[in-house]
Structures are given as structure tokens and as C-alpha cells.
Structure 1
Amino acid sequence: MNTIMHHIGIFFALAPRRGDKSNSKIVEWLRLRQEKSGNSINYKFWHKDKNSVANHCDELETKISDIEPLRRLLSALNFIPRIVVDKVRRSWVYNDWEVSIDSVKNLGTFVELEYKGRMRKPDPDKITQEMREFIANLRLGRVEENQRGYPYMLLYN
């Protein structure tokens, strides 16, 4: 199934609220997302491998009916938006993955593979290797991996 969605995500970096002032160490994001099918709030925590490279993230997400009261609540708690990610996403399901083509405003077009399976304890290294093999078999030529996500790319690239 092919779906097309327009997402507007407002990202708040949590590290400064926890005493970490280093932009290079942002590993937590709180995101408010607006889209036609409904709004949501999402928490992301990026895990790093032994080389300190982010290789997967935990995500907690729930739908919200009205984004404005939550935005005002976060503002009252002194959460400051760091970046807005405006993208159009076309996605398909392949095995346990969501395969997406994202057109991100002020950034470009990207392909994203995201594990959507239901394993209790998935092995991120194994899943990442399977995804790399899948991409290699497509013979697309030069492929660059991004382990930081669109908010980080918009802020620091």
C-alpha cells in the first residue's frame, strides 16, 4: 500500500533542560506533529553503538486531538522549539519495514527505512545489516547513511 502524507513536526531538544548544553550530544527529542490524519506527540531517545554513532531510537508516541493547548503547555514549562521539519512522505510497507521517500523542505529528498516489526527485543545491529543488504541489492550507486535524523541535519548541516 502506498500512502502520501504531509507532516509538520515541531522538535524540542531535551538535553539543555537536563543540564547538557552541547548541541552535538542531542540524543532526546520531543516532537509535536501536525498532519491531516491527526496530531501526535512523540518522544525519541537515540541509542549509540560502541563507536558513539546513533544506530536506533526508542519512540513513544500518542495521538492528541488539539495541538495548540499542548504547545502552550510546553511553552509555559519553558520548552523552546528548536526546529520545524516540514516534509511530504510517500511510504510503503515491505516485510517488517516502512520504506519512505521524504521530500523535506530546505533539505532535499531522502529514502528512509524504519523497522515496524513487533519483536519483543529486536536486534538493532541485525536489522540494520538486513537494511544495508536490501539497499545494496538495489544497486543504487553511492548511498549515504544518516544516523541523526532531519532535525539534526537542518540544525547543523
Structure 2
Amino acid sequence: MIEVEVKARTDLETARKMLEDEGARFIETEHHFDSYYNAPHRDFASTDEALRIRSRDNKTFLTYKGKKMDSVSKTREEFETPVDSENMRNILLSLGFREYGIVEKEREVYKLDDFVIALDSVEQLGEFIEVELESEPGSDIEHNSSKIFEFLNKLGIEEKDSIRKSYLELVMEEKVK
């Protein structure tokens, strides 16, 4: 699966109101606790990849995210599978992976047409909106990115306002300030 995704800072109250006005359907609120790992054989920060264990409401998933596929959005190939959190952590550490960082957030998930919209309150960082369209490999990434930006324009968010960095990258930047 290819995840065409755009992220930007926003005021969550304003975003909720716009989603309500547009007829978006609220799905759920989730608490995410993400532990990111770096490989012993290459540096994921420099290869633009990510490997994480996400604990979400008593469920845990291992997710690998490949390199970004365009210069505007956060489009990546993504693979995810359910795992046992402690066993997966022990496997990774035993193989020489090291825990690189933690991101914790509250996420409100909405659905509108083909869009999945996440309103995130991220510890240490603030409030964000992520809008995602799932695509098959070989699909038109630019077209899907354009659709997302058309949607975000309703919030006054333009392409120049988008953030291509991951929450982990933003958290790590905050640590060095």
C-alpha cells in the first residue's frame, strides 16, 4: 500500500468545526505510544525510513515506512503487522536495533469520502492535522496530493504550510533546542 499523506499544524477546534461543516464522520479517539528503532546495518534517519512499534488502545503493531516518494507530501510505502509489544522489542534489541525515540499523542480519526483525517495532539509538539489517501503502487501520487491540498485549503492550509518531517524528527529537533 502507498500512503499519500499531508501534515500541517492547525488549531484542533477550528479543524473539528470544518470537519463537522463538511459532513466528516467521527470514527474514534486513539492514544498512540510509538517507539522508534534504528537498524544496526544502516541509519534510518539518513535513509529516510522508519521502523516503529505502536501501542494503540491495547493493540500493538510493527510498522516499516519506506523512503518518501515525492517532494511535496509524506507519501511512502508502508507495511504493518500486529505483534506482541514486549516480544517484538526484545527481538529488535537482540538483533542489534536500538530504540531511537518516543512519540506520544492523542488522535481523533475522521472519515470524509476517501480521506482519512487525523487530528493529533502530540506531546512536546502541539496540534496537527494529517490527511491521508491510500493508493495502490503505480497510482498518481501528484493527483492524490493535489486532492489533499484542495481539502486542506478549506482550513486555510496551503502547500507551503505542509510539514514533511515525521513527528519523531520534530521531537528530536525539540530535544536539541
Alpha-carbon distance in 2 for matches of 1:133, 1:54: 13
- 1:80 maps to 98
Q: Which amino acid aligns with 2:128?
A: F
Q: Contact (CA 8 Å) 2:33, 2:56: kept in 1 or not?
A: yes
Runs of 4+ aligned structure 1 residues displaced above 4 Å come to 140-143
Q: Distance in 2 between matches of 1:126 and 1:141?
A: 16
Where does the alignment leave 5 or more consecutive residues of structure 1 unmatched? none
Distance apart, 1:122 and its partner CA: 2.5
Query: Quick one: distance in 2 between partners of 1:29 and 1:155?
Result: 14
Partner of 1:17: 41
Task: Quote the residue 1:5 is aligned against.
Answer: 30
Structure with the higher fraction of residues in helix conformation: 2
* TM-score after normalising by structure 2: 0.74
Percentage identity across paired residues of the two chains:
26
Paired residue for 1:27, among 19, 44, 48? 48
Structure number with the bigger relative contact order (C-alpha 8 A, sep ≥ 6) is: 2
Q: Does 1:134 align with 2:155?
A: no
| SS of aligned partner of 1:116 | strand
State the 1:136 CA deviation. 1.1
Rounded to whole Å, the distance in 2 between the matches of 1:73 and 1:142 is 40
Contact 2:30 2:106 in 1 (8 A): yes
Which residue of structure 2 lines up, in the alignment, with residue 115 of structure 1? 133
Going from structure 1 to structure 2, the CA distance change for 1:76 and 1:120 (only over 3 Å counts) comes to closer
Q: Which moved more, 1:143-152 or 1:74-83?
A: 143-152
Q: What is the CA–CA distance in structure 1 between the aligned matches of 2:95 and 2:159, rounded to whole Å?
A: 44
User: 1:106 & 1:55 partners in 2: Cα distance?
Assistant: 21
Q: TM-score, normalised by structure 1?
A: 0.83
The change in CA–CA distance for 1:45 and 1:95 in structure 2 (over 3 A counts) is same
